[in-house]
Amino acid sequence: MIGALTILLVFQLLGEVIVRWSGAPAPGPVVGMVLLFLLLQGRKTLPDSLRATAETLLSHLSLLFVPAGVGIMQYGALLSREWLAVVVALVLSTLITLAVTALVMKAVLRRPPGVRQDG
Amino acid sequence: MARIGDIWVYLATSPLVWLAMTLAVYLAGQWLFQRSGGRAVFNPVALAITLLVLLLLLTGTPYTTYFSGAQFIHFLLGPATVALAIPLYLHWERVRRLFLPILAGLLAGSLTAMLSAMGVAWLLGGSPPTLLSLAPKSVTTPVAMGIAEKIGGLPSLTAVLVIVTGVIGAVAGPALLNGLRIRDDAIKGFAIGVAAHGIGTARAFQISGLAGAFAGLAIGLNALLTALLAPLIVRWLHLTP
């Protein structure tokens, strides 16, 4: 558990260092994720403890968003002025994004490249 | 014996109360969610946030005091993002075979998320800071805050918009995708991840491990792409303040 947490933190640290050093627009933890993935691919093994820790952390992923979400209380004034625009934009945009992403993937999946339609 | 008021004065300044409260309220939210038979409206994140905001308002506690305790939970977003490498590794074979649909879905989804949010808010009279804060709303919190800062939005407002987006995607996503006759868990997961980042991903893991892995992949890819595209789109729309 501690070993696994250390691995995750060290890779996050590596990601942050690379991002600062290179000035890449990518976020540090995402770079850390890519690096850890490459290491796992290279070694072709996944330690059980790392798998268990990752699964525990990811099964409670939604908890980790609560502290930032409570920040909504700071925006009472702005939201009382613009709540309609914000709420409608968030609801419509999220639904449209879900639909567009899924339908585009389905359409591309149906027509793999190099395979002509209708024989 | 100390009076209750004195104890509160001590506790109110220590990080312990709000750290414990965040966990307790989240567990209560999960309990309610399970008791409701997993009804999507009882989203544990939305319940926890609502309860905590009420508690803070009732006790007159400022958000900064709350966050000094809750930051320890917030910090785990980083290692959790790194941990997404594990489901990605476990499902890599499937990801590789779906390379082209993933690329197409990502590009379409990322652009749609930014443009539709800004467009709708603009039509309804949203102010420029609100529009800029909305642009990265489908990206995972820490990254979205960084993007908002870069393009001139309000990072802490963006964090809130990101979370509301996640809750909407988690609540409505599975039903909407079923309605669109999407049967493939890989596509379901990826769409939920692109539109609704980590909170959607938590929901996708309830559909299946495969859906969760694809949602996790989508979080990382959409974070990268939005970080690249958002500044360009903002410049193109002449929104830069």
Instruction: Check whether residue B183 and residue B213 sit in a common domain.
Output: yes
Domain endpoint, select from B35, B58, B75:
B75
Q: Per the CB < 8 Å rule, is B187 touching A28?
A: no
Contacts of A37 in chain B (CB under 8 A): 85, 88-89
pLDDT for res B65: 92
Instruction: Check whether residue B90 and residue B180 sit in a common domain.
Output: yes
Domain endpoint, select from B21, B52, B75:
B75
- A12/chain B closest Cα distance in angstroms: 6
- Optimal mutation site among A18, A30, A43, interface B, most CBs of chain B within 10 A: A30
Instruction: Check whether residue B88 and residue B33 sit in a common domain.
Output: no
pLDDT for res A96: 97
- CB neighbour list of residue A119: distance below 8 Å, 6 or more residues apart: none
Structural domain includes residue B228: yes
Residue A15 pLDDT > 70: yes
Instruction: Check whether residue B132 and residue B196 sit in a common domain.
Output: yes
Question: Which residue type occupies B25?
Answer: V
Instruction: Give the nearest chain B residue to A27 (CA atoms).
Output: B143
- Number of Cβ within a 10 Å radius of residue B138: 36
Structural domain includes residue B187: yes
Residue among B126, B177, B195 minimizing CB distance to A85: B126
Instruction: Give the nearest chain A residue to B79 (CA atoms).
Output: A8
Q: Per the CB < 8 Å rule, is B77 touching A72?
A: no
Q: Per the CB < 8 Å rule, is A36 touching B82?
A: yes
Residue among B71, B86, B146 minimizing CB distance to A46: B86
pLDDT for res A23: 79
Instruction: Check whether residue B215 and residue B102 sit in a common domain.
Output: yes
pLDDT for res B223: 86
Local structure of residue B39 (DSSP, 8 states): -
* Token pair for B30: 């999960």
Structural domain includes residue B142: yes
Instruction: Check whether residue B104 and residue B197 sit in a common domain.
Output: yes
Confidence class of residue A117 from pLDDT cuts 50, 70 and 90? very low
Range of the domain at B226: 81-236
Structural domain includes residue B42: yes
Residue among A59, A75, A97 minimizing CB distance to B109: A97
- Optimal mutation site among B22, B47, B81, interface A, most CBs of chain A within 10 A: B81
pLDDT for res B2: 67
Residue among A41, A64, A73 minimizing CB distance to B73: A64
- B5/chain A closest Cα distance in angstroms: 25
**Residue B235: in which H helix or E strand, if any?**
helix B209-236
Q: Is this model's pTM higher than 0.80 or not?
A: yes
- For chain B, how many structural domains are there in total? 2
The Cα B6–Cα B11 span in angstroms is 9
pLDDT for res B15: 83
pLDDT for res B110: 96
Structural domain includes residue B196: yes
Instruction: Check whether residue B100 and residue B184 sit in a common domain.
Output: yes
Instruction: Check whether residue B63 and residue B165 sit in a common domain.
Output: no
Instruction: Check whether residue B106 and residue B213 sit in a common domain.
Output: yes
Instruction: Check whether residue B60 and residue B167 sit in a common domain.
Output: no
Helix locations, chain B, DSSP H:
4-13, 16-35, 44-59, 63-75, 77-83, 85-90, 92-97, 99-123, 128-134, 141-151, 155-179, 185-207, 209-236
Instruction: Check whether residue B106 and residue B48 sit in a common domain.
Output: no
Which of B168, B190, B18, B232 has its CA nearest to residue A93? B168
Instruction: Provide the residue-wise pLDDT of chain B in tens; the chain has 241 residues.
Output: 667 778 777 777 778 889 999 999 999 988 988 888 777 777 888 899 999 999 999 999 999 999 999 999 999 988 998 998 898 898 888 888 999 999 999 999 999 999 999 999 999 999 999 999 999 999 988 788 888 888 888 888 998 999 999 999 999 999 999 999 999 999 999 999 999 998 999 899 889 989 998 998 898 889 888 988 998 898 888 765 5
pLDDT for res B218: 93
% of chain A surpassing 70 pLDDT: 91
Instruction: Check whether residue B37 and residue B151 sit in a common domain.
Output: no
Domain endpoint, select from B75, B101, B118:
B75
pLDDT in tens, A25-50: 677 888 898 899 999 999 988 999 99
Structural domain includes residue B241: no
- The CB-side HSE value for B34 (13 A sphere, CA atoms) comes to 6
Query: Contact B83/B56 with Cβ under 8 angstroms?
Result: no
The Cα A102–Cα B144 span in angstroms is 22
Task: Please state, rounded to an integer, the average pLDDT across all residues of chain A.
Answer: 88
Structural domain includes residue B116: yes
Question: Which residue type occupies A17?
Answer: V
> What is the ipTM, given to two decimal places?
0.86
